[in-house]
Structure 1
């Protein structure tokens, strides 16, 4: 893989036309690893949103009539191209988001997996005969695409979000207008260009980096039939207010404060490695379903705290292009300030015992947005750092004695995205899976977000599903037809 750190030219993509300037102004893109300005990103305004939606509406009339097997063929070609360009996606993720190249392969792998999975559904969308009542009517359903879907994604793992949203929308016959975060425009641009290369018609996928004004224009456009959003609860509430005025449906994949519950029969060493990497290592803790609360049974608590501290303290930090780096920077200066503010408040209030980190890196990394992996033990369950999503490399550890206490602690936040259980007791694992108030439960290290399984949360973690057949159904409307038998 090339270690060229030069960002590509970035533009808006409307149909097959690239716009190097737009009415929303310019975003000065900063490399999170160095703090240096590296590109000017053109931002869409309402004018470009109108153009893109008109283009997507026109393309919809063509795309919806493609036979399912043809959409499947094109989506599989698209998945092939995502895989073929793995190295470039890894490079772009390091440039735009500071994702280390050692973990960056997860983006194209999952992006291709989700695209290929939904390609398999494209020719299997069927209705059903509902009934033949005594009156002699035949009643059946027609599954139909919505039309233009507005897709708004945040900056962490953009290629994964694109695969989760775009692939099922297209498989169902919809077209899309994507507003990626202005912090991560390069991956989304390459994604859309590869779709054209795969033969997906111009206008089926449109990409508009833009400001809040652009997002509002996209949500409010009368020809946008549904909105799907990945981000945080604060922004989601604003989106829902706007959708409510228009009676427009939305899917919300929001944040999490997922509990990783470790019982005394679990292996301390292997769980500590998993707990540290998946909370303060992977994406520098900037992931919605990462297990950022570690709940440990009393008899192994002290050993687990020490093991996690040791593992987390030895995770290599540094340059995203260094093949030894595991932990890169967080996304920007604002994120550094916000995360460190939460850490300082936790320290001042006595919310927990700081056992590792809690500081910004200096020296050669002082200009980048690097935070040392941070671990708090003995954390008050009611504290801010236990209740609120940090979205950074911060892990809180709490003690429990009984299964009932573990359940109460795990369910004590307003979030409900993921839950993790570590035990060799099958009965206990099933009881915990039933008791946790989450959209997903992982037992003993199962992997996150496979395309075949429904993914989505409850409470502050949003609603709606991505993945599996339910993820396809989010982009289908059922029409009921009755006729004399």
Structure 2
């Protein structure tokens, strides 16, 4: 990134487009009122955005239902072409997308998020004409028995606040490729990218009503989940919110796919290549720790424990926190003031209760950054795995370091939370690695890797236990938005 590539401050707010998208109607103001969005880096208001009324939620769902009948009948190659056009548009808008992401969630300004999201749309565009059923031997009858894949219908898409644009690719792309229509509920802490996304879809030739946007708080979420015109829920967010939506969806026996929280263990055995391990172990500072799959519990076998702490602390000490648009900055803020207070409160409680020792950080960053939501990179050592600090998804730049003695203890510690999204392990013993793959309770297991970076569209991603169910990515991702009809022809 160069300084010249960053838009000047006076041009940045112009990329933030508040509003509702209801079929072919754009609504800039609503009698439902408005909510203010605060820039995480400055603590100042970016813009206000309208809150949808219940009637406007109903209008959005009705528009999606009407558009579904057209969109599902588009030929697969036509849907594929539209999604490829959308991917091209997102790459063309990469500067705009980088600005929106930085202003919404405090993400370091970059143009990668546009290319990454476009990759998801290109990947699922390729699936649009490859969805097939199967032929069945109709024994003991004589006839033709087969299955036909069909889109599930209208999908309520809830995107998370830690980089909403990327979630349009992970969850929106497979739904659209399958022939479904969307009613998007933006996060209150990241409300602008959803409106831009709907606009890009129209530019790509996707019909009005295929993508709708209704902003607001919990009342809007509940209305959308309970709406009889919604056929499925796709939710990315916290486990607590996921439970509430699940309860509401149960009233209409409505299916969900939920990508929830994580508290991933990163197990380092004494025979691991520590030089290769440490950079990944320090990933908790990336995006200010706001990633559900991050290895936020570092479990180190005792012979390497002290050195691991020393090396991770060295990397964390080199963090440059600051405004996401400033060249050279390596860590931005957390998403909100309440998040910053929650994070530092959990650290303080762990320290006061004796559940952990603060090796580094633990507080807010002051000085020129005091008005923003900046939290110090925090390294907690000798952490009690049963304590809240090790059981709660912190969603901030906090790493819990825990010692262990042997393989059985490492597995027990790794599995000893309610979450099961990702597990990481480092060892040169491949027989041990094979045992770990079987023993670790997680949707993904990485051996000798602290994560390949962003999730690949070709790989299934999702969790077990409190980390949710269903998958994003791969063929499994598009299967979430398909229903299979069985057909029997008596011939």
Q: Using structure 1 for the length normalisation, give the TM-score.
A: 0.97
Say whether residues 1:242 and 2:248 are aligned partners. yes
8 Å Cα contact 2:148-2:485 kept in structure 1: yes
Say whether residues 1:376 and 2:384 are aligned partners. no
Say whether residues 1:482 and 2:488 are aligned partners. yes
After TM superposition, list the pairs within 5 Å mapping 1:274-353 onto structure 2.
274-276=280-282, 278-279=283-284, 281-353=285-357
Per-residue deviation at 1:392?
Answer: 0.8
8 Å Cα contact 1:24-1:214 kept in structure 2: no
2:91 maps to which residue? Answer: 83
Which stretch has the larger CA shift, 294-303 or 426-435? 426-435
Moved over 4 A (4+): none
8 Å Cα contact 1:45-1:213 kept in structure 2: no
Structure 2 residue corresponding to 1:13, chosen from 18, 21, 33: 21
8 Å Cα contact 1:24-1:211 kept in structure 2: no
1:225 maps to which residue? Answer: 231
Q: Deviations over 1:83-120 (max 9, x none)?
A: 2212211111111111112xx44422321111111101
Structure 2 residue corresponding to 1:130, chosen from 117, 133, 136: 136
Say whether residues 1:69 and 2:73 are aligned partners. no
Question: Per the alignment, in what secondary structure is the counterpart of residue 397 of structure 1?
Answer: strand
1:183 maps to which residue? Answer: 189
Say whether residues 1:367 and 2:371 are aligned partners. yes
2:49 maps to which residue? Answer: 41
1:357 maps to which residue? Answer: 361
- Aligned partners of 1:45, 1:294: CA distance in 2, in Å? 45
Per-residue deviation at 1:430?
Answer: 2.3
1:59 maps to which residue? Answer: 67
Per-residue deviation at 1:150?
Answer: 0.5
- Aligned partners of 1:408, 1:22: CA distance in 2, in Å? 52
2:435 maps to which residue? Answer: 431
Structure 1 residue corresponding to 2:106, chosen from 87, 91, 98: 98
2:38 maps to which residue? Answer: 30
Which stretch has the larger CA shift, 409-418 or 419-428? 419-428
Alignment: residue pair count: 481
2:473 maps to which residue? Answer: 467
- Aligned partners of 2:424, 2:344: CA distance in 1, in Å? 26
Which stretch has the larger CA shift, 427-436 or 88-97? 427-436
Question: Per the alignment, in what secondary structure is the counterpart of residue 49 of structure 2?
Answer: strand
- Aligned partners of 2:444, 2:32: CA distance in 1, in Å? 38
Question: Per the alignment, in what secondary structure is the counterpart of residue 376 of structure 2?
Answer: coil
- Aligned partners of 1:186, 1:240: CA distance in 2, in Å? 26
8 Å Cα contact 2:84-2:122 kept in structure 1: yes
After TM superposition, list the pairs within 5 Å mapping 1:134-283 onto structure 2.
134-276=140-282, 278-279=283-284, 281-283=285-287
8 Å Cα contact 2:38-2:44 kept in structure 1: yes
- Aligned partners of 2:60, 2:267: CA distance in 1, in Å? 46
Q: Using structure 2 for the length normalisation, give the TM-score.
A: 0.96
Shift in CA distance, 355/105, structure 1 to aligned 2, threshold 3 Å: farther
8 Å Cα contact 1:266-1:423 kept in structure 2: yes
8 Å Cα contact 1:74-1:199 kept in structure 2: yes
* Unmatched segments (≥5 aa) in structure 2: none
- Aligned partners of 1:147, 1:79: CA distance in 2, in Å? 23
Per-residue deviation at 1:481?
Answer: 1.0
Per-residue deviation at 1:299?
Answer: 1.2
* Unmatched segments (≥5 aa) in structure 1: none
- Aligned partners of 2:392, 2:111: CA distance in 1, in Å? 29
Shift in CA distance, 2/18, structure 1 to aligned 2, threshold 3 Å: farther
Per-residue deviation at 1:443?
Answer: 2.2
1:2 maps to which residue? Answer: 6
8 Å Cα contact 1:23-1:48 kept in structure 2: no
8 Å Cα contact 2:6-2:325 kept in structure 1: no
- Aligned partners of 1:2, 1:318: CA distance in 2, in Å? 15
- Aligned partners of 1:289, 1:247: CA distance in 2, in Å? 29
Per-residue deviation at 1:423?
Answer: 2.4
8 Å Cα contact 1:256-1:417 kept in structure 2: yes
8 Å Cα contact 1:97-1:331 kept in structure 2: yes
Which stretch has the larger CA shift, 1-10 or 34-43? 1-10
- Aligned partners of 1:23, 1:160: CA distance in 2, in Å? 30
- Aligned partners of 1:29, 1:329: CA distance in 2, in Å? 15
2:401 maps to which residue? Answer: 397
Question: Per the alignment, in what secondary structure is the counterpart of residue 124 of structure 2?
Answer: helix
- Aligned partners of 2:83, 2:41: CA distance in 1, in Å? 34
Say whether residues 1:110 and 2:116 are aligned partners. yes
- Aligned partners of 1:302, 1:78: CA distance in 2, in Å? 50
